[in-house]
Amino acid sequence: MAPFGQISGLRDFPALILLTMSRHCSSGQRQLSGWSGMECPVFFAIFLFLTKYFHPTTEVEGIQALRSIIFAFLAVFLPQFSLAAINHGVSVLAPVITASSGLPPEAVGLIGGLGGFGAVWFFAANSTILPTLGSLRSLILGCILASLAAVTFALQNGWVGFVAAVLVGFGYAISAPAGSIILAANTPKRIWGTLFSLRMAGVPAGGAFAGLAAAVIVGQYDWRLSLAVLIFPSFLSIIFLKFVSAEINIPERKNPFSFASVFNPKLFLTPFQVLARVPNLATITFVSVGFAAVQGSLFTFFTTYLTDALGFTLSLAGTLYAVVQLSSFLGRIIMGFVADLLGSIKALLAILGICSPFGLLVLTSLNIDEPLWILFFKCSLIGPMIASWNGLFLAEVTRVADMGDVGESTAASTFFTFISYMSAPLIFGFVSFYFSYHLAFAVVGCLAIISFLILIRSMFLTNAKK
């Protein structure tokens, strides 16, 4: 199938799509399908948006273009959701994993840190994996690797669990650059904000799935049964990825894969070299570091702050955490649409750079004596303000790569983003322990403001050159 960028022409293609959908939304079809008819306007709106920015030359090309978009998106979203479910599931189950393995409670932090190391390791080794295996095969590898690693936690062996944590992080990280390559090759650039944000909404969705699976199973059954539930979406993703390979455009593999090359320590220099080589990549990378510091600190210390500093019960704190996750899921979707409507991802990221520290202010305004609806409302603001930037960031990295090596640029940039995710909570914990939570929030909030200033400077310099 031809790359998406080669399709152009026919201005009335949106009308063609509406006509096609109207046939399926006719009264006869509704009776056969069981639709109420209320879904049709929603489908009309979605297809109008998706077809607004591209104009294929024939009806056949139009159908092929839509198939390419839909299959490419699902090929990215499903592994993203599945790998996020495993990654978050390990964090959710970490207390029972360590207890059953005879490890102290402090080992929970070690499992989380090793998972982060696994992700950083992949981003460094990306140049030896994605170009040789290809994006689809790499996603399949990620699903298999993370699933097998998750199952080994059932062995209840501490050292095996530590290795498994590294492999879960390694497999999870594959979804970022591999997904960007697929979307860049099969979707129109002007709706990248929407599609990349929709794709990253799979992360909190996977986290919610993991939380529900653990909550339902661990309390009533053997906790190891939840591992089977967590890896089931990955099994389905592997089947779908095998099916979809003939439906989308996939960049060719370059070199044969060498297993030994993954362990070359010099690979950790690669992200620095890529940042120096790709123009403007360093700017968006430094911006992501500030955003990741705030988000990483928020998700790591949210329940601890509410229970330790504010006196909330763990049950209520967990419920409010779920509200933050759900609102970030919706926020990522909305921000993607807004970015494409504005026509500038950078502008929206700059706005979020201001919203991020304000989200921390909303967090510090929570009070145990407030009515429940106010707590829910405030937490529903925190998620979009602090954790809705991820898809926009990946879309901007892909744009900066300019259809060069998208996977390499994404891996290099996300390498530093994950380092921020890992290190910021450590700094936050140190400051909050020796000083106060409010000072810790102020420190990470300043990093988001620095990200905002870097973006504003970049936008000013870009406009000055025009």
Q: What is the pLDDT of residues 173-221, one digit of tens each?
A: 888 888 888 888 888 877 888 888 888 888 888 888 887 777 777 767 8
pLDDT value of position 375: 94
Which tokens is 251 given?
A: 């960049």
Q: Which CATH number fits domain 265-466: 3.30.70.890, 3.40.50.150, 3.40.190.10, 1.20.1250.20?
A: 1.20.1250.20
**CATH H-level superfamily of 71-263:** MFS general substrate transporter like domains (1.20.1250.20)
**What is the predicted pLDDT for the residue at 404?**
62
Specify the domain boundaries for CATH 1.20.1250.20 within the chain. Answer: 71-263, 265-466
Q: Tell whether the model's pLDDT for residue 42 goes beyond 90.
A: no
- Reported pTM: 0.74
Please, are residues 56 and 68 in contact by the beta-carbon 8 Å criterion? no
Can you give the pLDDT at residue 48?
A: 47
Q: What's the rounded Cα separation, in Å, for the pair 430 and 412?
A: 28
- Look up residue 463 and give its two tokens: 């406009």
Q: Is 134 left (phi over 0), alpha (psi -120 to 50) or beta?
A: left
Give the pLDDT confidence of 417-440 residue by residue, as tens digits.
988 888 888 888 888 888 988 999
